[in-house]
Structure 1
Amino acid sequence: MDIVVITSIVAGLFLVIGLAEPLAARLRLPFSVILAAVGILIGSGAAFFWSTELTDALNPVALAILNLPIRSNVFLYVFLPTLLFQVTLGMNLRRMLDDWVPILVLAVVAVVAATFAVGYALFYASALPLAACLLVGAIVSTTDPSAVVSIFRSIAAPKRLSRIIEGESLMNDAAAIALFGLFMGYVMSGVPDPDMGAAILGFPVLMLGGALTGIAIGRIAVGVMVLVARFELALISVSVALPYITYIVAEQLAGVSGVIAVLGAGLTLNLLGPGRLPPQSWNALREVWDLLAHWAGALIFILAALLIPRLLDGLRVSDLGLIAVVTLAAIAARAVILFGLLPLLARLRLSPRVERPYRTAILWGGLRGAVTLALALAVTESFRVPIEVKRLVGILATGFTLFTLMVQGTTLRWVIGRLGLDKLGPLDAALSQQVIAVALQQVREDMASTAEQYRLTRDTVRAEAKKFARRLDRAVEAAEASEEILDRDRVTLGLIALAGAERDLILERFRERAVSVRLADRILSNADRLIEATRSGGRLGYLRGARAGTGGGPRLRGAVFLHNRLRVSRPLARLTADRFEMLLAQRLILNDLHSFIDNRIRRIHGRRVADLLHDLLDRRGEELQQTLDGQRLQYPGYAEELERRFIRRTALRLEEREYTAMREDGLIGSELYQTLMQDIAGRRSDAEGRPKLDLRPRKQDLVRQSPLFADLDDRTVRQLARALVTRYTADGERIIRRDSPARSVFFIASGAVEMDLPGGPKRLGRGEMFGQIALLLKHPRRAEVRAIAPSTLLILDEARFLRLLKTSPVLQRAVRDSAAARGFDPEEVFAGRDWNTAPRGAATLEPDQTPDAATAEGTSDAPDRDARPQRPA
């Protein structure tokens, strides 16, 4: 084929891509529908001009289009890895992991259900063997991700719902292609009735093997990128090669799912890249992949649509009935998932509740596209598939795809309108009128100051001011006539706006290098969770979301277990340092939110709501400061090191800003500017290094700062510090079980715990103790104790506690006060003790036989037995 003709065709396709997007916006149709229609027109037009005798001038172009080397491998090996890889880079992985159960269930179960529903319906309606029918089901079971994403953006669906459906539409490509590979093997081998047990067992092997392959290659690629991190273009080039190498290795060498492997590699880069690659290089990499994916997504639709006339060749009237069977079976299977499985997941609290109108929009928006056509093309290209099977597979897959694009796609916005998803709710409508009135009032004030500043003509200003005043009056009247907003709703709306402003501040601080690169993604995820928690739970949801953002989660609990049980401290040290840095960053951001309340929220919702938001923000700041103070107490000096690091990075940012301003003003040249920037880059690299956190607690400092030990002399403090055993607890961890034997007393060095007493729960914080009443009364524990925040406990065994209690009046008063507060007679607690003789083995506080903290009694993961004596670590 002439290179000039090929170049012309490629240039024409890019021109079509450039014009299709504004056309889709004007016609209010999905972008993919416009591309498919254009592709069909081009393919049909080429076939018409080649076959007609009206003109021969366009025959070379028509022949070139008809002879384009479009094969299934072009879609599967060139375009599909690009699309999948870019989507994984743009995903908020931490938020996706929050909803991994509904995403995985919808992706796998929905595809399997559609495959078998279509397969068996077609088997009973046609003469095709079961393997071929199931092959058709696998081909038509996957939805098009780009179409689904555009649908939910157009109806402004809740973010969590959009995230679940986007994740499902991405993962179901992998499930469908894996099933396609299984049933394609049966069809090519001539097996009429496949072994379903073997198919079911082979499916997870393909998926798991693909995931492990992708993760391994992704980690290797990240290591290579780190080596070439100084060279931005080299780093981007490695990223471009990554999905193709991964797909080829998985499919050709490992014999596993290439799609899943590409997803695994992309998610690995998404998780590791932001923390190990320079921020500017990471942003440039994302921008390049956005452009590549846009081109690939558009080209795959146009080229696939060019095949439709070829795939429909040989269409018979009887085939229309089979297309209807496939269409009805596929829609019915998807309806069962949406109206049966999704509500069940919501009842089990594994998925957010999806309103019926949204489920209806999802059902009608299940468009099929290029992947379906590419798989059908792969069947028609195989010489090992019977001719009649190839013909029917191509026709059925193409006919169903055309139905979803041309019928569902073109009527989707009408369906959304009928469902009322394109309209504001009463609360949002009422709020919008007030927002407009406030905005126009501000504009009028700014207009007056502008006219005065520039000394505009009075008549001109007066004429325009009258027009604007009429519009403002109408806006005020509409706001007054709109539905009244309850104060509770105003608070919720104000908190949503406040959480959104917090997210914007995080992004701004990240651009200014005030927030660490490695933690920016995690802090943004916490901000997104805060917004969603506020939408669903109002004021209480906001506070719960804020507390969850300062906790450690399952990762911290796992790290605490490794540290306490196996003495593996590195994960706990890293997560604790991350938490330290996150707390400092959140404190800086919270300080800037008060001005947002005064400048923006007060004007819309009024003084009372603004004051309440100030109070909530103050309460959140106090809780955060208490947590930070506990960390400071536990690791003195580390917070100061982080603050010095922040000051150094801020100074570098300001210095960089000054040099940039000087270059823009022409005070320095480009060569000097580049030299200065290189110097700043080197110093910034040094400043990014985080100080190492030593987990070993300074127990003497903790003892001295506790009011319970205020009357101890230095020698006793040193002995007590050596005798105390440190134990770390994660949020929610059970410390003491009810009815367990009492053998030690716990002092809270940092954090907080909750005691589930018979009379009701009681919370204890830093500087308090628990476990002493049961020990003195020689009774089993009456309360269950759990940590309600990441805490550090100091544990003292019975013998040394009694020795210390005998010599410390302050501790005796604290025990008496705690006994009285919990309904015990203090004299009864101290009765029966011979204070003239020390307990056996307690002549000194020296830790000759101190129990290990990990085997302290009453814990959820340790049996109730005497701890083996050993010296504390």
Structure 2
Amino acid sequence: MNIMLITAVIASLFLVIGAAEPLAARLRLPYSVILALVGMLIGAGAIFFLRTDLTDALNPIAEAILGLPIRSNVFLYVFLPTLLFQATLGMNLRRMLDDWVPILVLAVVAVVVATLGVGYSLAWASTLPLAACFLIGAIVSTTDPSAVVSIFRSISAPRRLARIIEGESLLNDAAAIALFGLFMGFVMLGVSDPTLTDALRQFPLLIAGGAIAGWFAARASVWIMSNFVHHERAQISVSVALPYLVYIGAEQLIGASGVIAVVTAGLTMNLSGPRRLSPQTWANLGEVWDLLAHWAGALIFILAALLIPRLLEEVRSEDVILVGVVIVAAVTARAVILFGLLPLLTALRLSPVVERPYRTAILWGGLRGAVTLALALAVTESTRVPIEVKRVVGILATGFTLFTLLVQGTTLRAVIRWLGLDRLSPIDEALSRQVVAVALQTVREDVERTTENYELTREIVRSEAKHFAERLDSAVQATEDGGDILDRDRITLGLIALAGHERDTVLDRMRERTISQRMAEQVLSDADRLIEGARSGGRNGYQRAARQSVAYGQGFKIGVALQRRLHLSAPLARMTADRFELLLSQRLILRDLDAFIDRRIRRLHGRRVADLLHDLLARRVEAVETALEGLRLQYPGYAEKLERRFIRRTALRLEEREYTNMREDGLIGAEVYTSIMQRLNMQRAASEKRPSLDIAIQRLELIQRFPLFVGMDDAALKQLGRALKTVYVNSGELIVGKDDPAQSVYFIASGAVELESAGQTWRRGGGEMFGQMAILTKKAVRAQVRAIAPSTLLVLDAERFRRLLARRPAIQQAIRASAKERNIDPEALIADEQQPSKQSE
């Protein structure tokens, strides 16, 4: 075939793709519906001109259109990996995790139920083999997200609804294609009545093999991309190769699901990529994949639609009845899951509530599309599938797809409106009115300043000011008529806005390289938790998320256990270093939020809400400072190293800005700028390396760290080491309570503690001691002692401590200093303790 003609046809299809989007917006129809209609018209027109005697002038074009190499492999190996990979890269995984139960139920359970429901219904209504019926069920069980999500994003529909459908559509492609491959094998092998045991035995192998392959491939790709740090196009090229290679490798080399492999690879890169790649590279990578997915999605739809007229050429009257059976069975199976299983899981507290309007929209929004047509095309191309089965599969899949697109797709917007999902909630509606009023007030002030600066004609200014004042009065009146927002809701909205600005600030600092990519990902995760906490629990939810952001997690407890029992210190050292850097990053971000409260939130929600947010922010700053102080006391030298590293990175960022400004002002040329930036990048690479933290210290080494024990001979140190008991405590753990009997003295080998007594607090770090005063004064403990960092304590009982005190002048000196700090007579204290010791001697 003439290559120039094919190229012209493909280029023309891109013109169609470009025109379809504005046409869909004008007609208020889903973009995919427009593409399907245009594709069917082009396909039908090509067939018509080839068979008509009216003219032969358009025959070459018609032949080129019908002769395009449209095969199922093109859809499955070229377009599908692109769509799946881009969808996983663009997913907000943290938000989707809130609804992971309904998403998995719809993506896996609903697919299996639809496959079985459609299969058994067709087996009852037709003479097709059961394996072929299940094959049709698998083909029609996958939904297409593009049409539904585009509608939800174009109106004020809840974003949670779009997330559920998007997550379902992404994952159910994997489940449906895995089932398709399974039953396609049965049909080609001539197994007419496969048992569910046969299917279920192979299904986990397809899933697990694909997941493992995708994870390994993505981890390797991210590692390669991180080593190409100064070659952005090379990094993006590696990302483009990943989905295709992992899809083909999983399918052809290990016999697993290529779809599962691509989805897993995309999810893995979504989680690890932002930490290993620069923000600019990650943003550019996302833009490239968005464009690739847009083209792939449009081409797969329009090319599949070209085949619809040919697939329906041999339709019979009984086929129409079977299409109806498929429609009823598929919709019923989906309704059983949505209105039967999901409410049951919610009642058992296994799933969050999915409101009835949401479930209705999800039911009607189960549109089928290009993937269904591509799978049907794969069946019609196979030479090992019986001819009658190929004909019926093509007709039923095409008929059902057309029903969902032309009936459900064109009415979905109306259904959403009927359900009231396009309207804002009362609190959002009230907020929108107030936002408009505040914005118009700000605009009016800016316009007044502008008119003064430009000395515009007074009549024009007066006329426009009157018109603008009417708009402002109307907005204010709408706010008053619509009712005010409750203070509780204002606080919630203010906290959401504050957490959102915190997230934006993190991104800005990451782009400036003030915060490392590794820590930025963690701080972003904390900001997302703050947003979700404020949305779900208001002030209390925000405070819980804030406490969680500075708390020691289970990982630290495991790290402490590994160090204590197995002497493996590397995990705990890495987590401690991460925590150091994380707290420094959080402190940097929190410092910038007070201005946002005064500049934006105070004007929108009032002084009382702003003051409350300032108070909550001050508590967060105090919590971060306390946690940092604990680490500084625990590892003073390491804290200094990290802060020096932060200063160096900040200085390099400012230096880079100066060179860029000089380049833009023409003070230096491109050659000089390039040379300077190369040297600067080398310095930045050196500053990115985090100093190491060594926490692996044995007991004898711990004892030797204390100034009190300096000068003791080895025999005395060993004897003391046998007397001292090592105790490990986690952050927040109570060590000594008020009114406890004085039984032991505690030496802080590593970590930090806080002593609280009579409304005063003291903090002690490594190399210091506590508990000695209660023993010397022979009174009950008056101070409460709590760990503020994971700490290692050396504990000495009271009797041994008294003997040690009598023998060691250095310890007596330390006791005198500590007593003087607490306004206790140190000489009387020491003398009182030495007297019984001398008598005993």
What corresponds to 1:689 in structure 2?
Answer: 689
Q: Which piece of structure 1 moves more, 340-349 or 377-386?
A: 340-349
Asked if the contact 1:747–1:793 (Cα under 8 Å) also holds between the matched residues in 2, the reply is no
List per-residue Cα deviations over 1:570-589 (Å, max 9, x = no partner): 23322222222121111111
Q: Which piece of structure 1 moves more, 673-682 or 135-144?
A: 673-682
Gaps of 5+ in 1: 737-742, 754-763, 777-784, 815-834, 844-873
Are residues 432 and 226 of structure 1, via their aligned partners in 2, closer, same or farther at CA, if it must alter by over 3 Å?
closer
Query: Does residue 80 of the first structure (1) align with residue 80 of the second (2)?
Result: yes
CA distance in 1, matches of 2:169, 2:22: 25
What corresponds to 2:821 in structure 1?
Answer: none
Letter in 1 for 2:57: A
Asked if the contact 1:724–1:794 (Cα under 8 Å) also holds between the matched residues in 2, the reply is no
List per-residue Cα deviations over 1:458-508 (Å, max 9, x = no partner): 222122111111111111212222212211111111111111111111111
Q: Say which of 789, 792, 812 aligns to 2:790.
A: 792
CA distance in 1, matches of 2:371, 2:46: 23
Are residues 198 and 470 of structure 1, via their aligned partners in 2, closer, same or farther at CA, if it must alter by over 3 Å?
same
Are residues 192 and 730 of structure 1, via their aligned partners in 2, closer, same or farther at CA, if it must alter by over 3 Å?
farther
Asked if the contact 1:557–1:730 (Cα under 8 Å) also holds between the matched residues in 2, the reply is no
3-state SS of paired residue (1:254): coil
What corresponds to 1:653 in structure 2?
Answer: 653
3-state SS of paired residue (1:727): strand
What corresponds to 1:594 in structure 2?
Answer: 594
Are residues 13 and 629 of structure 1, via their aligned partners in 2, closer, same or farther at CA, if it must alter by over 3 Å?
same
Q: Which piece of structure 1 moves more, 648-657 or 389-398?
A: 648-657
List per-residue Cα deviations over 1:297-328 (Å, max 9, x = no partner): 11111111111112212111221221121112
Asked if the contact 1:155–1:416 (Cα under 8 Å) also holds between the matched residues in 2, the reply is no
Gaps of 5+ in 2: 737-742, 755-760, 776-783, 806-810, 819-834
CA distance in 2, matches of 1:46, 1:412: 31
What does 1:554-565 correspond to in 2, within 5 Å? 554-565=554-565
Are residues 145 and 573 of structure 1, via their aligned partners in 2, closer, same or farther at CA, if it must alter by over 3 Å?
farther
Are residues 313 and 802 of structure 1, via their aligned partners in 2, closer, same or farther at CA, if it must alter by over 3 Å?
farther
CA distance in 2, matches of 1:199, 1:728: 52
List per-residue Cα deviations over 1:651-699 (Å, max 9, x = no partner): 2222222222222222222222222222222221112111112234799
What corresponds to 2:438 in structure 1?
Answer: 438
Measured after TM superposition, the shift of residue 129 of structure 1 is 1.5
Letter in 2 for 1:15: L
Asked if the contact 1:496–1:534 (Cα under 8 Å) also holds between the matched residues in 2, the reply is yes
Are residues 277 and 484 of structure 1, via their aligned partners in 2, closer, same or farther at CA, if it must alter by over 3 Å?
closer
CA distance in 1, matches of 2:160, 2:569: 35
Are residues 157 and 505 of structure 1, via their aligned partners in 2, closer, same or farther at CA, if it must alter by over 3 Å?
farther
Query: Does residue 551 of the first structure (1) align with residue 551 of the second (2)?
Result: yes
Measured after TM superposition, the shift of residue 161 of structure 1 is 5.5
Count the aligned residue pairs.
788
Quote the RMSD (CA, aligned, Å).
Answer: 3.8
List per-residue Cα deviations over 1:419-447 (Å, max 9, x = no partner): 11111122222222222111111111111
CA distance in 2, matches of 1:57, 1:184: 42
3-state SS of paired residue (2:728): strand
Are residues 402 and 490 of structure 1, via their aligned partners in 2, closer, same or farther at CA, if it must alter by over 3 Å?
same
List per-residue Cα deviations over 1:151-180 (Å, max 9, x = no partner): 443455555664444332211111111111
What corresponds to 2:619 in structure 1?
Answer: 619
CA distance in 2, matches of 1:121, 1:194: 16
List per-residue Cα deviations over 1:692-713 (Å, max 9, x = no partner): 12234799999999xxx99x88
Asked if the contact 2:161–2:358 (Cα under 8 Å) also holds between the matched residues in 1, the reply is no
What corresponds to 1:397 in structure 2?
Answer: 397
Measured after TM superposition, the shift of residue 636 of structure 1 is 1.4
3-state SS of paired residue (1:695): coil
What corresponds to 2:203 in structure 1?
Answer: 203
What does 1:639-650 correspond to in 2, within 5 Å? 639-650=639-650
Indicate the percent of aligned positions where both proteins have the same amino acid: 65
Q: Which piece of structure 1 moves more, 146-155 or 256-265?
A: 146-155
What does 1:220-299 correspond to in 2, within 5 Å? 220-299=220-299
Asked if the contact 1:92–1:525 (Cα under 8 Å) also holds between the matched residues in 2, the reply is no
CA distance in 2, matches of 1:267, 1:592: 32
CA distance in 2, matches of 1:723, 1:504: 50
Are residues 682 and 724 of structure 1, via their aligned partners in 2, closer, same or farther at CA, if it must alter by over 3 Å?
farther
What corresponds to 2:22 in structure 1?
Answer: 22
What does 1:252-651 correspond to in 2, within 5 Å? 252-651=252-651
Are residues 498 and 231 of structure 1, via their aligned partners in 2, closer, same or farther at CA, if it must alter by over 3 Å?
closer
Measured after TM superposition, the shift of residue 766 of structure 1 is 6.6
Asked if the contact 1:750–1:765 (Cα under 8 Å) also holds between the matched residues in 2, the reply is no
Are residues 193 and 319 of structure 1, via their aligned partners in 2, closer, same or farther at CA, if it must alter by over 3 Å?
same
CA distance in 2, matches of 1:691, 1:346: 49
Letter in 1 for 2:792: L
Are residues 635 and 164 of structure 1, via their aligned partners in 2, closer, same or farther at CA, if it must alter by over 3 Å?
farther
CA distance in 2, matches of 1:728, 1:101: 37
CA distance in 1, matches of 2:580, 2:586: 10
List per-residue Cα deviations over 1:332-357 (Å, max 9, x = no partner): 22222222333344445544322221
What corresponds to 2:34 in structure 1?
Answer: 34
CA distance in 2, matches of 1:745, 1:40: 85
Measured after TM superposition, the shift of residue 283 of structure 1 is 3.1
Asked if the contact 2:37–2:305 (Cα under 8 Å) also holds between the matched residues in 1, the reply is yes
Measured after TM superposition, the shift of residue 767 of structure 1 is 6.0
Are residues 118 and 557 of structure 1, via their aligned partners in 2, closer, same or farther at CA, if it must alter by over 3 Å?
farther
List per-residue Cα deviations over 1:591-645 (Å, max 9, x = no partner): 1111111111111111111111111111121112212222222221323322222
What corresponds to 2:831 in structure 1?
Answer: none
Measured after TM superposition, the shift of residue 145 of structure 1 is 3.1
Asked if the contact 2:107–2:168 (Cα under 8 Å) also holds between the matched residues in 1, the reply is yes
Q: Which piece of structure 1 moves more, 524-533 or 548-557?
A: 548-557
Letter in 1 for 2:192: P
CA distance in 2, matches of 1:767, 1:349: 45
Are residues 247 and 656 of structure 1, via their aligned partners in 2, closer, same or farther at CA, if it must alter by over 3 Å?
same
List per-residue Cα deviations over 1:511-556 (Å, max 9, x = no partner): 1111211222232222122111101100000101112223354544
Asked if the contact 1:211–1:264 (Cα under 8 Å) also holds between the matched residues in 2, the reply is yes
What corresponds to 2:724 in structure 1?
Answer: 723
Q: Normalised by the size of structure 2, how large is the TM-score? A: 0.86
CA distance in 2, matches of 1:720, 1:621: 40
Measured after TM superposition, the shift of residue 724 of structure 1 is 5.3
Q: Which piece of structure 1 moves more, 248-257 or 331-340?
A: 331-340
3-state SS of paired residue (2:792): strand
Q: Say which of 797, 800, 804 aligns to 1:803.
A: 800
CA distance in 1, matches of 2:582, 2:343: 36
Asked if the contact 1:148–1:365 (Cα under 8 Å) also holds between the matched residues in 2, the reply is yes
Asked if the contact 2:49–2:58 (Cα under 8 Å) also holds between the matched residues in 1, the reply is yes
Q: Which piece of structure 1 moves more, 25-34 or 467-476?
A: 25-34
Are residues 539 and 279 of structure 1, via their aligned partners in 2, closer, same or farther at CA, if it must alter by over 3 Å?
closer
What does 1:46-195 correspond to in 2, within 5 Å? 46-93=46-93, 100-156=100-156, 162-195=162-195
What does 1:751-770 correspond to in 2, within 5 Å? none
3-state SS of paired residue (1:55): coil
Letter in 2 for 1:794: T
CA distance in 2, matches of 1:622, 1:615: 11
Asked if the contact 1:50–1:63 (Cα under 8 Å) also holds between the matched residues in 2, the reply is yes
List per-residue Cα deviations over 1:223-260 (Å, max 9, x = no partner): 43344443332332222222111111111111111111
CA distance in 2, matches of 1:198, 1:837: 84
Are residues 272 and 604 of structure 1, via their aligned partners in 2, closer, same or farther at CA, if it must alter by over 3 Å?
closer
Letter in 2 for 1:686: A
Are residues 588 and 680 of structure 1, via their aligned partners in 2, closer, same or farther at CA, if it must alter by over 3 Å?
same
What corresponds to 1:781 in structure 2?
Answer: none
Are residues 100 and 361 of structure 1, via their aligned partners in 2, closer, same or farther at CA, if it must alter by over 3 Å?
closer
CA distance in 2, matches of 1:163, 1:703: 57
Asked if the contact 1:744–1:796 (Cα under 8 Å) also holds between the matched residues in 2, the reply is no
Measured after TM superposition, the shift of residue 454 of structure 1 is 2.1
3-state SS of paired residue (2:591): helix
